[in-house]
Amino acid sequence: MAKAKTVYTCTECGASEPKWQGQCPSCMAWNTLVESIEETATTNRYANKFEGLAQSSTLQKLSSIKAADIARQPTGISEFDRVLGGGLVEGGVVLIGGDPGIGKSTLLLQVLCHLGSRKNGKTCQAIYVSGEESPQQIAMRAKRLGLDASEVELLAEINLEKILATLQTHKPNIAVIDSIQTVYSEALQSAPGSVAQVRECSAQLTRMAKQLGITVILVGHVTKDGTLAGPRVLEHIVDTVLYFEGDQNSSFRLIRAFKNRFGAVNELGVFAMTEHGLREVANPSALFLSHHESQVSGSCITVTMEGTRPLLIEIQALVDESHAPNAKRLCVGLEQNRLAMLLAVLHRHAGIPCFDQDVFINAVGGVKISEPAVDLAVLLSIVSSLKNKPLESKLIVFGEVGLAGEVRPVQGGLVRLKEAAKLGFTKAIVPKANAPKQRIDGIEVIGVERLEQALNQLRNH
């Protein structure tokens, strides 16, 4: 038997090289080439398709195509539907990733059991393909969660050809593949989870989903840095990419959409893990607000946008005298480089130095904030901690701070203010451009153009 020829495949772009190199020549990524077996069978199979001339396809005028709304199938879990853009789409492929044990399989089992139940005389046929757990383990989980799994069909299989044959025979409405890294194709010699196997299996499943109109949900593993394992092309093949986030020491879980061809990206769904499975959180803002018996310094409430949803989040700052040659700068949930920039702006334009102070910033609840709309709240919490002067308990603050000390407007200012007023906040310091022309009942809005004006509002308090 001839020895199989090995090649080195890039985990980022999927390109193959005959020898190992530190940098991939195709995508210029470092340390991404891994050893794999050359797939001669795949090359020959695809090459045969191009023998001879194929018939040309029919062209259509874009203006002649009628645009119609895409029908969606609600999952029965409103937070999951929000992230998906309203529900599952026929023929859509969803990829969901997250840390081990965070609740991916639990959520999908809840979704399948709800879709499989009879409603309005219709039954949604659902198949759960398990490549990691035995049927007994899944049955025990469904029993522990108190789910009605009578209409959910289970297939314990990791062979791609057998999975495709089963889906072609039964033609279910929805199929869950848990997980894509355990599935392998007989046409390839590499092990399950390799770059070639993940790329081939996901492409075949996506092709079948489009041809038969089956909604396919793929569960993906994540690497140490939190990104989906496997080739980068996996995220390009599918229609929707969701990430399951959360601290395993906390009962709260977040689902975030990073790609969605049928809805908005950066939407956020909030769940609580209970003994009966994942439960939706009706008021997510309450998770990120601390309840202090008395006012404390260094705490400031801000409003951030997660997709179309406004969330009230508490920003906490602790400023203490540094006893080391270099003062510490630590952020949890925010960008550390932006904190250094904001401290420089605070010194230059407000005359408040912190070079000899340790500064610690925390976004309560473990949420990660990437938008600059929290700049003003971070600075006010720092000043509050430095001066040991608490802010007003019913005050919210948002706005981007520029290097010149100006307070820039942010998107969705009116939505943020209405959400704050609904939750009982009575005063807001916002960019002047975000101040509403008409008064909002129950809340006083103060528009500022520069950082100094915002600090003056605190001194007047």
pLDDT digits (tens, 9 = 90+) for 284-294: 877 777 666 67
Question: pLDDT grade, residue 47 (50/70/90)?
Answer: very low
In this structure, the answer to whether residues 95 and 19 fall within a common structural domain is no
Query: Cα–Cα distance between 258 and 262 in angstroms, integer?
Result: 12
Look at residue 120 in the predicted model and tell me its pLDDT. Answer: 42
Q: Quote the longest CA-to-CA distance of the chain.
A: 86
Average pLDDT, whole number, for the chain? Answer: 86
CATH number of the structural domain spanning residue 237 = 3.40.50.300
In a domain, 242, yes or no: yes
Question: pLDDT grade, residue 50 (50/70/90)?
Answer: very low
In this structure, the answer to whether residues 172 and 34 fall within a common structural domain is no
Give mean pLDDT, residues 338-348.
94
For the entire predicted model, the pTM comes to 0.74
Give mean pLDDT, residues 13-41.
81
CB-CB neighbours of 116 under 10 Å: 23
249: left (phi over 0), alpha (psi -120 to 50) or beta: alpha
CA dist 46 to 49, 50, 51, 341, 458, Å? 5, 8, 10, 53, 69
In a domain, 45, yes or no: no
- Expressed as residue numbers, the domain containing 167 is 72-282
CB-CB neighbours of 213 under 10 Å: 13
In a domain, 88, yes or no: yes
pLDDT digits (tens, 9 = 90+) for 200-236: 899 999 999 999 999 999 999 887 777 777 777 888 8
C-alpha closest to that of 371 among 343, 340, 408: 408
H or E stretch including 320? strand 309-321
In a domain, 381, yes or no: yes
In this structure, the answer to whether residues 112 and 260 fall within a common structural domain is yes
Query: Cα–Cα distance between 134 and 25 in angstroms, integer?
Result: 42
In this structure, the answer to whether residues 98 and 200 fall within a common structural domain is yes
CB of 138 closer than 8 Å to CB of 128: yes
Query: Cα–Cα distance between 207 and 128 in angstroms, integer?
Result: 19
Structure tokens at 261: 């061809």
Q: Where are the alpha helices (DSSP H) in 297-399?
A: 336-350, 375-387
Q: Which of 19-23, 240-244, 307-311 has the lowest mean pLDDT?
A: 307-311
**Domain boundary, last residue among 282, 312, 330:** 282
Question: pLDDT grade, residue 460 (50/70/90)?
Answer: low
In this structure, the answer to whether residues 253 and 309 fall within a common structural domain is no
The number of domains in the chain is 3
Q: In what order do the strands lie in the sheet with 444-448?
A: 329-332, 357-363, 309-321, 299-306, 395-397, 427-431, 444-448
In a domain, 151, yes or no: yes
Does the N-terminal peptide bond of residue 26 adopt cis geometry, omega within 30 degrees of 0?
A: no
In this structure, the answer to whether residues 243 and 291 fall within a common structural domain is no
What are the two backbone dihedrals, phi and then psi, of residue 95, each rounded to the nearest 5 degrees? Answer: -115, 120
In this structure, the answer to whether residues 270 and 344 fall within a common structural domain is no
In this structure, the answer to whether residues 96 and 243 fall within a common structural domain is yes
CB of 319 closer than 8 Å to CB of 359: yes
Query: Cα–Cα distance between 355 and 23 in angstroms, integer?
Result: 40
What are the two backbone dihedrals, phi and then psi, of residue 204, each rounded to the nearest 5 degrees? Answer: -65, -45
Look at residue 228 in the predicted model and tell me its pLDDT. Answer: 78
